[in-house]
Structure 1
Amino acid sequence: MNPHSDTLGPADDGRHSVLRMERRLAHPPAKVWAAITQPAHLANWFPSEVTLELKPGGAMGFHFPGDEGPGMTGEVTDAEEPRLFAFSWGDDHLRWEIAPDGPDGQGSLLTLEHTFGDRFGAASFASGWHLCLSALGQFLDGGPAEVSQDAGELHEAYLEQFDLGRGEVTGDGIRFERQLVRFANKVWAELCAGEEPLEGDTAPDGFLADGISAGPVTSVWAPTSLTYAVHPKGEVRWEFVEGTGHGARLVLTQTGVMDDAEAVLAAWHARLERLAGQLLES
């Protein structure tokens, strides 16, 4: 399936984002309804084990195989067979709507709306649901759900489609936040290229962008952060924090930008695009 049929937009409250995905399925709404509401069917394609009371206000539980602990909880918010099933999952909300489709009405148009607060996680959510919906289609067709895990290409396609790689000008500086497809230790090794940075040294080339004159490293905590001075009175900070589970979340900032913020933003955007390509090959 092509990710270009899927959309990301703001929620009505202005604080959340809504991922909207549509899939046409060659099966009647009643069959699709069973596949998205019955735990035994969900086990074939949904990303976690699910327990639920299929009624508004009913409790839900989500548990990923192999994870210790009680798992996450949610609540059914809508259950209108065979048209609408919606529920909370932690702080997120998922709405599944089924409409008859096709000339005889024996197919279905399934629409998923996922509302969440972490806009920069949207590419992870979209690529994950993309694979789940592919598995749902295989399950409905009567075959085993055999969907290959994304090595990063699908994630990056959604990141580009949703324009999540663009940074922003912030006061006297710039800021990027980007979900990566590899974890911090792997990204750190790619950036260092065998040259471990030390305080007082010039930052390795991997941490630089074209046209950015690097001064000495002022702080380094491998593999989670590196800060170095830049001319005339600013600093660049690379920080890797917890992301969506697909890899590290990079937060990159530069201060002291002053009058050339757009040029600096473009330079760092190009650098991070190159890094994303390198990580796909690693």
Structure 2
Amino acid sequence: MNPILTRSDGRSVLRMERRLAHPPERVWPALVEPERLADWFPSTATIEQRVGGRVEFGFGADGTVTDLDPPRLIAFTWDTDHLRFELRPDGDGSVLLLTHAFDDGPGAASFAAGWHTCLAALGLVLDGRPGEDPGLDHRALHEEYVDVLGLLEPVVTETQGGWEVALERQLVHPPEVVAPLVAGLDGRWELPEGTGHGARVRHSRTAATAQERDRARVEVPAAVAALVDRLPVAQHA
């Protein structure tokens, strides 16, 4: 998939590529036709195929088509997110580049794992096997993308009294599993709202000196990693 996560205009931007064994003209209907989208896209979607056209989803706010160049490009908004699908020929097949811009940086691994599964399903649809299970473990993919996308680095923020060192981490386990494990742990632990695919944990510590700050930059990720290690193994399956 060659995932790349960057920042642009204050937003997270995830880029993922997948080679498909079909030319752009064959792939295009699966990107724009409701009955084809239903076989692989994360929601039902009806697209009015013109720039400025409405996109109706099965959940979340409706979107608007922002770019359209059949059979090469379609882009549209979905609630506050922006999705861009670009096709380019590649031998007797094509390469699909997905660009997803969003505000929830810590949720990037959930989005990447979800798109990985969706694009695998798209490949099956194009091969004439709609509805077939891609056989992927979403939870395992999520944990892999946490590492690949560099989501284990804490954020250091200067405060009036020194610094705050914080790491916000999306998990694959439900809040009722995570909450008892963070109770009584050192430092500040919160369970903010996440992507809805599991609990979100935020761990932070304050530092009054540069030495304390640098120590916290090591200890905060280590504490979050220790929490993940304590989560039930069955939840990773």
Fold similarity call, TM over 0.5: yes
Which residue of 43, 63, 72 maps to 2:38? 43
Which residue of 261, 264, 282 maps to 2:216? 264
Which residue of 206, 222, 237 maps to 1:255? 206
Contact 2:193–2:199 (CA<8 Å) still a contact in 1?
Answer: yes
Matched with 1:132 is 118
In the alignment, does 2:38 pair up with 1:86?
A: no
Q: Secondary structure at the match of 1:22?
A: strand
In the alignment, does 2:139 pair up with 1:152?
A: yes
Contact 1:22–1:111 (CA<8 Å) still a contact in 2?
Answer: yes
Flag the 1:125–1:175 CA change in 2: closer, same or farther, 3 A. same
Matched with 1:28 is 23
Could you tell me which amino acid in structure 2 is paired with residue 174 of structure 1? V
Contact 2:205–2:220 (CA<8 Å) still a contact in 1?
Answer: no
How far 1:183 sits from its partner (Å)? 2.1
Flag the 1:149–1:185 CA change in 2: closer, same or farther, 3 A. farther
How far 1:268 sits from its partner (Å)? 2.1
Which residue of 175, 178, 183 maps to 1:187? 178
Q: Secondary structure at the match of 2:50?
A: coil
Unaligned runs of 5+ in 2: none
For 1:255 and 1:6, locate their aligned partners in 2 and report how far apart those are by CA, in whole Å: 33
Could you tell me which amino acid in structure 1 is paired with residue 148 of structure 2? Q
Unaligned runs of 5+ in 1: 65-70, 193-202, 209-235
Q: Secondary structure at the match of 2:74?
A: strand
Identity of paired residues, percent? 46
How far 1:147 sits from its partner (Å)? 2.7
Q: Secondary structure at the match of 2:107?
A: helix
Q: Encode CA deviations 1:69-118: one digit per residue, 9 max, x unaligned.
A: xx42100111211111110111111110111111xxx3111111111111
Q: How many residues align?
A: 228
- Structure 1 or 2, whichever has the larger Rg, is 1
Q: Secondary structure at the match of 2:227?
A: helix
